[in-house]
Amino acid sequence: GQQLNQSPQSMFIQEGEDVSMNCTSSSIFNTWLWYKQEPGEGPVLLIALYKAGELTSNGRLTAQFGITRKDSFLNISASIPSDVGIYFCAGPSNTGKLIFGQGTTLQVKP
């Protein structure tokens, strides 16, 4: 079935550093979503991408929908302590269900 491979699995960075994480698939997705989940809470939508090649920003976050429609990346610039959490990529499957990547755990050292 369709799968999303997300990397890296975890990151431990210094405050102020930039962060990059990506998601790849062997199959095509028509939509890419990036969510952030903080401990004890549900995922919150950060960025939604609907078109191949699309580059979208949300504050310090930037995400791109790969031209091949098989990958996407999320960048966070000038990280701050509140960026800590788990970041998930997700995309709707052929049946409409949402498929999630394994998540990238981000820790930021002040």
Partner 1 sequence: GAVVSQHPSRVICKSGTSVKIECRSLDFQATTMFWYRQFPKQSLMLMATSNEGSKATYEQGVEKDKFLINHASLTLSTLTVTSAHPEDSSFYICSARDRRGYQPQHFGDGTRLSIL
User: Cβ closer to partner 1: 70 or 100?
Assistant: 100
Q: Phi and psi at residue 18, in whole multiples of 5°?
A: -90, 150
Work out which of 12, 14, 26, 42 binds partner 1, going by CB under 8 A: 42
73 closest CA partner among 97, 107, 101, 38: 101
109 close to 15: Cβ distance less than 8 angstroms: yes
Binding of partner 1 by 41 (CB under 8 A): yes
Binding of partner 1 by 44 (CB under 8 A): yes
Q: Is 2 exposed, middle or buried (0-12, 13-18, 19+ CB in 10 A)?
A: middle
Binding of partner 1 by 66 (CB under 8 A): no
d(CA 74, CA 46): 10
Region of 17-25, 51-59, 71-79, 96-104 interacting with partner 1 (CB under 8 A) = 96-104
Work out which of 22, 29, 43, 79 binds partner 1, going by CB under 8 A: 43
Work out which of 19, 23, 25, 35 binds partner 1, going by CB under 8 A: 35
Binding of partner 1 by 12 (CB under 8 A): no
Residues sharing a CB contact under 8 Å with residue 24, sequence separation 6 or more, in sequence order: 4, 5, 70, 71
Contacts with partner 1 by CB under 8 A lie at: 31, 33, 35, 40-45, 48, 88, 97-98, 100-103, 105
